[in-house]
């Protein structure tokens, strides 16, 4: 808390009283200065508490008013006037002038030495500076930690939170590399406009939108990159230190060789494999490096039908880094997709955002499942739930499904191995599939539509584009092939389960398989 005139006057040990200039009580005192000159203003820099006994104060009222006016014009915070030496009270002309120009004048009791006031002010300033240094160091540590755990995106979001400002990193073309705000278009356009005028230097300026600080640095490929901070007011000294520290961290991060990034990702995958599939005891140091602790609660998500695995991994890593969240990531068994673990708090919303980023980045429809929250030691369970949810999502056309939202049949089927699903499906549907293949019929499709519409002939026939009598004939043929009565609710349930098992076989991943063993520590 800064030392203001009001705070100083409120100190019970100093016995200060207000003689005039109440309007300026919230002025900040930056230093204290005792001076006995008829005109001290040339030796004042601004922000001082000027202490005087009035020894050189002129006798006439006009000169006294001029004395105080000059001190006020120098930018001083206040005047402490001794009442135990030449004057037994503050002169009326000084009090009147204080009210006119708005500079506080404090009457100092005869028993209070100037040194007591000096100590009170200087000690408070020292405490303030120590606290400012502590906050700055803490802020720098937070920035470094964010960089380690979430790269450039995490660093920029951490700086934005520390300064309560909008922060972004863009390149010379105006492409956004990282941001701390959702109002990205406005900030990016402001920065791009400035660097289009002059991209050779760092600078700060104020316009109708507030203050904008731009720092120029060089990216890994030699191209120009700019860190921009948009704030309502110009940045203070401590804030500028955090920006400078960010520039250093950003320069290091952008210059990080590709092989270092690849090594980090390989280590991340190795840790994830050990926890996901092998049940290895997590290594606390490795977990901490990737932003986790051994007692954390996490959620595992699985995305399938991603296409080429290398591109999918890159897109997922970029999406997670943009979220500035710690994560572990590994391939799904069989190479059909990718699984990743994040902190459980807010995981559903985060996975939803990452899912949409992945769909946009890959330009394809993908399937996703979200497991339940679990401990670091039991990630395998959440992974199995996520895979089951992803399989059910693919079968039901919902694309992203949480395990907790699965219905009973979907849950039971999605947790079965491919061998079990194949047994369920072929036991009921093999004869129908053979008939369709050999004779070019559409009995299986017709059965699916019939069951989907709960046995309503008109709705199912309309979907298939056939007459309801044609559909009746097809269902009679299905009944003959399976040897069951289609009017039986039990038969319909069995056939529906068989169709769902078949769907899972065509879009799922056999999660009984496991990748090559990795290490968790």
* Tally: H helices and E strands in the chain: 17, 16
Q: Helix, strand or coil for residue 13?
A: coil
Q: Helix, strand or coil for residue 460?
A: helix
Q: For domain 148-256, say whether CATH 1.25.40.10 is its number.
A: no
| Least-confidence region, from 22-26, 139-143, 223-227, 338-342 | 223-227
Question: For the chain, what's the residue count?
Answer: 521
* pLDDT for the residue numbered 56: 92
| Least-confidence region, from 215-219, 246-250, 389-393 | 215-219
Instruction: Among 130-134, 195-199, 514-518, name the most confident range.
Output: 130-134
Considering the segment(s) 259-414 as one domain, its CATH architecture is 2-Layer Sandwich (3.30)
CA distance 331 to 98: 75
Among all chains, which residue has been given the structure tokens 């009442």?
Answer: 83
* pLDDT for the residue numbered 219: 56
Which tokens in the block code for residue 437?
Answer: 């293949």
Q: What is the CA radius of gyration of the chain?
A: 37
Which tokens in the block code for residue 108?
Answer: 């100092």
Which tokens in the block code for residue 258?
Answer: 């590709």
Considering the segment(s) 418-507 as one domain, its CATH architecture is Orthogonal Bundle (1.10)
| Least-confidence region, from 55-69, 181-195, 387-401, 446-460 | 181-195
Count CB neighbours of 286 within 10 A: 18
Contact 418, 508 (CB under 8 A): yes
99-115 tens-digit pLDDT? 999 999 999 999 999 99
- Say which DSSP state 42 is in: G
CA distance 49 to 42: 15
To the nearest whole percent, how much of the chain has pLDDT over 70?
90
H or E stretch at 271: helix 258-276
CA distance 382 to 371: 5
Residues forming CATH 3.40.1390.20 domain(s) in the chain: 5-112
CA distance 32 to 17: 17
pLDDT-derived band at 372 (thresholds 50, 70, 90) equals confident
Which tokens in the block code for residue 259?
Answer: 């092989």
* pLDDT for the residue numbered 412: 58
Contact 306, 330 (CB under 8 A): no
Cα–Cα nearest to 329, from 347, 320, 341, 314: 341
143-163 tens-digit pLDDT? 998 888 878 888 999 999 999
CA distance 435 to 424: 18
Q: Does residue 332 surpass a pLDDT of 70? A: yes
* pLDDT for the residue numbered 511: 38
* pLDDT for the residue numbered 517: 30
* pLDDT for the residue numbered 470: 92
Bridge-based pairing state of the strands 367-370 and 400-402 = parallel
Q: Does residue 505 surpass a pLDDT of 70? A: no
Burial of 496 (0-12, 13-18, 19+ CB in 10 A): middle
Q: Does residue 236 surpass a pLDDT of 60? A: yes
Cα–Cα nearest to 420, from 485, 346, 512, 490: 512
* pLDDT for the residue numbered 108: 95
425-480 tens-digit pLDDT? 787 888 898 898 999 899 998 998 888 788 889 988 998 999 989 999 999 999 99
Contact 112, 34 (CB under 8 A): no
Average pLDDT over all residues of the chain = 85
Please tell me the CATH code under which domain 5-112 is placed.
Answer: 3.40.1390.20
- The phi and psi torsions of 32 (rounded to 5 degrees) equal -125, 140
Residues forming CATH 3.30.450.30 domain(s) in the chain: 148-256
CA distance 411 to 185: 43
The number of C-alpha atoms within 13 Å of 323 and in the hemisphere containing its C-beta is 22
284-329 tens-digit pLDDT? 888 888 888 889 999 999 998 888 888 888 889 888 887 778 899 9
Q: Does residue 339 surpass a pLDDT of 80? A: yes
Contact 38, 56 (CB under 8 A): yes
- Sequence-separated (6 or more) residues with CB below 8 Å from residue 180: 156, 157, 159, 160, 161, 165, 166, 167, 168
pLDDT higher for 158 or 280? 158
Cα–Cα nearest to 448, from 394, 514, 492, 389: 492
508-517 tens-digit pLDDT? 444 333 333 3
First to last CA, the chain: 46
Q: How many angstroms separate the Cα of 136 from the Cα of each of 122, 139, 237? A: 21, 5, 10
Beta strands in 112-264 (DSSP E): 166-171, 176-179, 203-207, 210-218, 224-231
CA distance 206 to 211: 4
CA distance 423 to 498: 9
Contact 320, 357 (CB under 8 A): no
* pLDDT for the residue numbered 510: 40
Q: Does residue 95 surpass a pLDDT of 50? A: yes
Residues forming CATH 1.10.10.2840 domain(s) in the chain: 418-507
| Least-confidence region, from 165-169, 221-225, 321-325 | 221-225
pLDDT-derived band at 183 (thresholds 50, 70, 90) equals low
To the nearest whole percent, how much of the chain has pLDDT over 90?
38
């Amino acid at each position: 808390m800064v030392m203001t005139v009001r705070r100083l006057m409120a100190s019970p040990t100093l016995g200060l009283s207000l003689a005039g200039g109440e309007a300026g009580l919230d002025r900040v005192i930056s230093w204290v200065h005792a001076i006995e000159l008829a005109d001290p203003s040339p030796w004042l820099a601004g922000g001082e508490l000027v202490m005087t006994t009035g020894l050189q104060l002129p006798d006439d009222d006009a000169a006294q008013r001029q004395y105080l006016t000059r001190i006020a014009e120098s930018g001083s915070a206040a005047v402490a006037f001794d009442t135990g030496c030449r004057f037994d009270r503050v002169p009326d002309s000084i009090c009147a002038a204080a009210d006119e120009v708005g500079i506080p004048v404090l009457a100092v009791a005869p028993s209070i030495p100037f040194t007591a006031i000096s100590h009170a002010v200087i000690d408070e300033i020292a405490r303030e500076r120590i606290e400012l240094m502590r906050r700055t160091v803490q802020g720098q540590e937070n920035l470094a930690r964010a960089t380690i755990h979430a790269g450039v995106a995490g660093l920029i979001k951490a700086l934005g939170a520390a300064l309560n400002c909008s922060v972004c990193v863009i390149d010379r073309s105006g492409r956004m590399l990282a941001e701390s705000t959702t109002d990205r278009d406005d900030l990016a356009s402001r920065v791009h406009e400035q660097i289009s005028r002059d991209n050779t230097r760092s600078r700060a300026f104020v316009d109708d939108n507030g203050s904008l600080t731009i720092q120029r640095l060089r990216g890994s490929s030699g191209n120009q990159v700019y860190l921009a901070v948009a704030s309502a007011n110009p940045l203070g000294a401590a804030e500028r230190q955090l920006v400078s520290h960010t520039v250093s961290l950003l320069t290091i991060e952008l210059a990080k060789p590709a092989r270092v990034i690849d090594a980090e990702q390989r280590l991340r995958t190795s840790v994830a494999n050990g926890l996901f599939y092998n049940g290895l005891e997590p290594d606390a140091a490795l977990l901490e490096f990737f932003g986790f602790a051994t007692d954390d609660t996490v959620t595992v998500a699985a995305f399938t039908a991603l296409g080429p695995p290398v591109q999918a991994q890159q897109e997922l890593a970029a999406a997670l880094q943009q979220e500035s969240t710690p994560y572990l990531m590994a391939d799904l068994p069989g190479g059909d997709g990718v699984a990743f673990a994040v902190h459980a708090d807010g995981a559903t919303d985060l996975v939803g955002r990452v899912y949409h980023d992945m769909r946009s980045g890959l330009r394809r429809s993908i399937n996703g499942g979200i497991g339940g929250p679990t401990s670091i030691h039991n990630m395998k369970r959440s992974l199995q739930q996520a895979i089951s949810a992803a399989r059910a999502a693919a079968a039901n056309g919902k694309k992203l499904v949480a395990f907790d939202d699965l219905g009973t049949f979907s849950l039971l089927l999605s947790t079965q191995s491919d061998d079990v699903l194949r047994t369920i499906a072929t036991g009921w549907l093999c004869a129908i599939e053979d008939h369709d293949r050999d004779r070019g019929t559409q009995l299986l499709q017709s059965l699916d539509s019939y069951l989907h519409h709960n046995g309503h002939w008109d709705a199912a026939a309309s979907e298939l584009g056939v007459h309801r009598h044609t559909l009746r004939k097809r269902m009679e043929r299905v009944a003959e092939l399976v040897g069951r009565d289609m009017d039986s609710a039990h038969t319909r349930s069995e056939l529906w389960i068989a169709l769902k098992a078949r769907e899972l076989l065509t879009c799922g991943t056999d999660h009984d398989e496991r990748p090559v063993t990795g290490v968790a520590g």
